[in-house]
Amino acid sequence: MTEIFVFIIAIIFLVGSISLALPSKSSKEKSKVRMQAKILGCKISSTLYGKNSFKNINSIDVIYQVKNESSFKEGHFIRDKEQFILYSPVQLKYQTGFEQMILNLNNISPYLEEIIFSKSNISFLWHEKKGVSNLEQIVERINNL
């Protein structure tokens, strides 16, 4: 009787160990999105390490970056409900074309949470669970700014 009990416990541990080693469905989806992001030219880094100037990192664990080929060379925008608002620098509000910039940003994707423009890169946070097609839309629209 004891041998059967030990055998059953050993099988349970073996099955549990194997199930922990296999990737979950959500892990597979994230991996697929991140592989496609690399193909689209995105650089991906963790929000946990390094210098991070994003404000909405609570539920998003990676930062996506693309080369900045737009006319915007500075700016930090955060989604507030349905629209982006300027976080910094304040003087950007007073430049000509600011209203058009906000309009263009609001038309990128509703799943884009935050975007930072620098001279060389555009960094953004978005909801990866929305899939590859949404990422392709975001990257395409960012490249067309």
Quick: pLDDT tens for 29-83: 888 888 888 988 899 887 766 566 666 656 677 889 999 988 888 889 998 888 9
The per-residue pLDDT for 115 is 92
The pTM of the full predicted model, rounded to 2 decimals, is 0.77
pLDDT one-digit tens code per residue, 97-131 = 888 888 988 999 998 989 999 999 999 998 888 88
Q: How high does pLDDT run on average in the chain?
A: 84
Give the chain's domain count. Answer: 1
Tell whether 64 is covered by a domain. Answer: yes
Spatial separation of the C-alpha atoms in residues 93 and 72, rounded to whole Å: 13
Residue labelled with tokens 């390094």? 50
Residue 29 maps to a domain: yes
Select from 45, 44, 33 the least CA-distant residue to 136.
33
Separation of alpha carbons 122 and 105, rounded Å: 12
> Of 86, 36, 89, nearest to 64 (Cα)?
36
With respect to residue 11, please indicate whether it lies within any of the assigned structural domains.
no
Q: Which domain holds residue 53?
A: 25-143
